[in-house]
Amino acid sequence: MKVNQLFQHIDQIDTYKRYGKIHRVVGLMIESKGPEASVGDVCLIHSSSRHGEKIMAEVVGFHNENVLLMPYSTIQDIAPGCLVEATGEPLQVKVGPELIGEVLDAIGRPLTGGALPKGLKDYPTDQMPPNPLSRPPIEEPIQVGVRAIDSLLTVGKGQRIGIFAGSGVGKSTMMGMIARNSTADLNVIALIGERGREVREFIEKDLGEEGLKKSIVVVATSDQPALMRIKGAYTATAISEYFRDLGYNVNLMLDSITRVAMAQREVGLATGEPPTTKGYTPSVFAILPKLLERTGTNHNGTITAFYTVLVDGDDMNEPIADTVRGILDGHFVLDRRIAEQGRYPALDVLKSISRVMKGITSEEHQQAATEVRQLLATYEENQELIQIGAYKKGTSREIDRAIHYHPSIIQFLKQGIHEQVTHQETLNHMFELLRGNKVNG
């Protein structure tokens, strides 16, 4: 029986190699006459350099029977008439437990320039999101290791969260804290569109040796072609899916989804799509839900996903921020005003929400979190009166309580970069705070 199956498999193998020729290059786009290929397939362009290197490119569309390709690298050695070889397959990356501790590029090659570990298997980067009915509900909290989150914005295993912030407010620092302190089995960290200087800085300072031991880092820097920045997000998501299917509880941290959208806009404009909201093309708003819905729970394991969203001028309603917020299961807002006060993490608890918190926390935890939020909100509403001395003590019992608890709450929400705290310790601190005991953050 096995022999028959083997013969059937041999019969189905395509023994022909299909070629085309470069016709023209316009900006980022390469047009070729042939080969026969489908959208999403990888092709190899035989470059004109003396070394005869093959440049990987992807089919992104068609125009007047010509194939439109975008390269994964620069197009310096591409000339008219260069051969284009079809592989007949979409991009696949090598995955396996041996990758843990590695730093990879957007198509899964080690950034150190060495060889990949042995024993890995091929895995396609582009997958369909799971069937909604095959997703188990989120019922269990996961320790993030950031006191403000574990207490007031509890995250569940398999939840998808957006971290919204302007530049320089502490997104990378917070991601490093989560990677080191979380109880997840594995971190998959995608650095998309980062400055080259920041990559090593993040790995060595924010993530650290301890964090890297249980992490896989995927890097696509800002100088790389748009397609590589998009593929970085797809590769990181595919690696997370592979480990989820093995039964792992994975943390996927993607910094930033905004730069993925910008890269897709470049590709869309190059293929002739019309610009719509703020210059973003329709394909941007089509790929975002498809990419973000791939994470979450399945019957084997979970992917708890954190996507950072860059908000231009701290505008929370710009198109990408608005779209992403509507897809995800909650959002954390990092506030520049809080960062300027020297309070880190600069998390604005009142503007942030975890949509699954009620289903995964105890009644006692929910009551305590609501009380802390109310005290913070009351103080913020009356902050100006309190600071200029216009409020007289005894006028309102609620405001008096808010003033009394405010220093302890602020101390509780502050956390040092390398300060480790468990989920239970965080809850004990919060309960002590509300009982009036002084909390040392």
pLDDT, tens digit (0-9, with 9 covering 90-100), for 84-142: 999 989 999 999 999 999 999 999 999 888 888 888 999 999 999 989 998 999 999 99
State which residues form the domain around 397. Answer: 364-437
Q: What per-residue confidence (pLDDT) applies to 13?
A: 63
Query: Which amino acid does the sequence have at 242?
Result: Y
CA dihedral for 109, 111, 115, 121, sign (positive or negative)? negative
Does residue 379 lie in a domain region? Answer: yes
H helices within 32-124, ranges in order?
none
**Residue 335, C-beta contacts closer than 8 angstroms, at least 6 positions apart:** 169, 346, 347, 348, 351
Q: Are 298 and 247 in contact (CB under 8 A)?
A: no
**Residue 301, C-beta contacts closer than 8 angstroms, at least 6 positions apart:** 243, 244, 245, 246, 247, 248, 249, 250
Average pLDDT on 357-385 reads: 94
The pLDDT of residue 367 is above 60? yes
Q: Are residues 224 and 302 in the same domain?
A: yes
Q: Are residues 197 and 251 in the same domain?
A: yes
Query: Which amino acid does the sequence have at 181?
Result: N
- Tokens 């009142």 correspond to what residue? 350
Q: Across the strands, what pairs with 169? A: none
Does residue 78 lie in a domain region? Answer: yes
Q: What is the CATH number of the domain that holds 402?
A: 1.20.1270.330
Average pLDDT on 49-62 reads: 83
Q: What is the CATH number of the domain that holds 175?
A: 3.40.50.12240
Average pLDDT on 142-158 reads: 95
Q: Are residues 162 and 110 in the same domain?
A: yes
Q: Please work out, in degrees rounded to the nearest 5, the angle formed at the alpha carbon of residue 238 by the alpha carbons of 232 and 239.
A: 90
The pLDDT of residue 9 is above 70? no
Q: What per-residue confidence (pLDDT) applies to 42?
A: 94
CA atoms within 13 A on the CB side of 272: 7
Q: What pTM was estimated for this model as a whole? A: 0.91
Q: Are residues 145 and 259 in the same domain?
A: yes
Phi, psi (degrees; rounded to nearest 5) at 427: -65, -40
Q: Are residues 45 and 99 in the same domain?
A: no
Query: What is the percent of the chain where pLDDT is above 90?
Result: 61
Q: What per-residue confidence (pLDDT) applies to 313?
A: 63
Q: Are 338 and 205 in contact (CB under 8 A)?
A: no
Q: Are residues 219 and 322 in the same domain?
A: yes
The pLDDT of residue 50 is above 70? no
H helices within 105-225, ranges in order?
147-152, 171-181, 196-201, 208-212
| pLDDT tier, 438 (very low <50, low <70, confident <90, very high otherwise) | very low
Query: What is the percent of the chain where pLDDT is above 70?
Result: 95
Q: Are residues 378 and 333 in the same domain?
A: no
Does residue 7 lie in a domain region? Answer: no
Q: Are residues 286 and 375 in the same domain?
A: no
| pLDDT tier, 385 (very low <50, low <70, confident <90, very high otherwise) | confident
Q: Are residues 246 and 334 in the same domain?
A: yes
Q: What per-residue confidence (pLDDT) applies to 388?
A: 83
Q: Across the strands, what pairs with 252? A: 188, 305
Does residue 199 lie in a domain region? Answer: yes
Q: Are 310 and 166 in contact (CB under 8 A)?
A: yes
- Mean pLDDT over each residue of the chain, to the nearest integer: 89
Question: Using CB atoms within 10 A of its CB, is residue 96 exposed (0-12), middle (13-18) or buried (19+)?
Answer: middle
Q: What per-residue confidence (pLDDT) applies to 28?
A: 80
Q: Are residues 254 and 305 in the same domain?
A: yes
Mapping DSSP to helix (H, G, I), strand (E, B) and coil, where does residue 423 land?
Answer: helix
Q: Are 294 and 129 in contact (CB under 8 A)?
A: yes
Q: What per-residue confidence (pLDDT) applies to 284?
A: 95
Q: What per-residue confidence (pLDDT) applies to 171?
A: 87
Closest Cα partner for 34 from 72, 55, 78, 65?
A: 65
Q: What per-residue confidence (pLDDT) applies to 404?
A: 92
Mapping DSSP to helix (H, G, I), strand (E, B) and coil, where does residue 343 land?
Answer: coil
Among residues 344, 361, 378, the one where a domain terminates is: 361
CA dihedral for 104, 110, 116, 122, sign (positive or negative)? positive
Does residue 315 lie in a domain region? Answer: yes
Q: What per-residue confidence (pLDDT) applies to 157?
A: 96
Q: Are residues 126 and 75 in the same domain?
A: no
Q: What is the CATH number of the domain that holds 70?
A: 2.40.10.170
Average pLDDT on 10-32 reads: 81
| pLDDT tier, 23 (very low <50, low <70, confident <90, very high otherwise) | confident
Alpha-carbon Rg for the chain, nearest whole angstrom, is 25
Q: Say whether the peptide bond before residue 354 is cis (omega within 30 degrees of 0).
A: no
Does residue 13 lie in a domain region? Answer: no
Q: What per-residue confidence (pLDDT) applies to 115?
A: 86
What is the separation, in whole angstroms, between the first and last Cα of the chain?
A: 67
Q: Are residues 300 and 382 in the same domain?
A: no
**CA gap 60, 386 in Å, rounded:** 59
Does residue 10 lie in a domain region? Answer: no
Count of structural domains, the chain: 3
Q: What per-residue confidence (pLDDT) applies to 441?
A: 38
Mapping DSSP to helix (H, G, I), strand (E, B) and coil, where does residue 254 land?
Answer: strand
**CA gap 71, 91 in Å, rounded:** 12
The pLDDT of residue 12 is above 80? no
Among residues 361, 387, 421, the one where a domain terminates is: 361
Mapping DSSP to helix (H, G, I), strand (E, B) and coil, where does residue 54 land?
Answer: strand
Q: Are 235 and 171 in contact (CB under 8 A)?
A: no
**Between 347 and 27, whose confidence is greater?**
347
Q: Across the strands, what pairs with 191? A: 219, 255
Does residue 5 lie in a domain region? Answer: no
Among residues 33, 67, 89, the one where a domain terminates is: 89
Q: What per-residue confidence (pLDDT) applies to 79?
A: 83
Mapping DSSP to helix (H, G, I), strand (E, B) and coil, where does residue 424 land?
Answer: helix
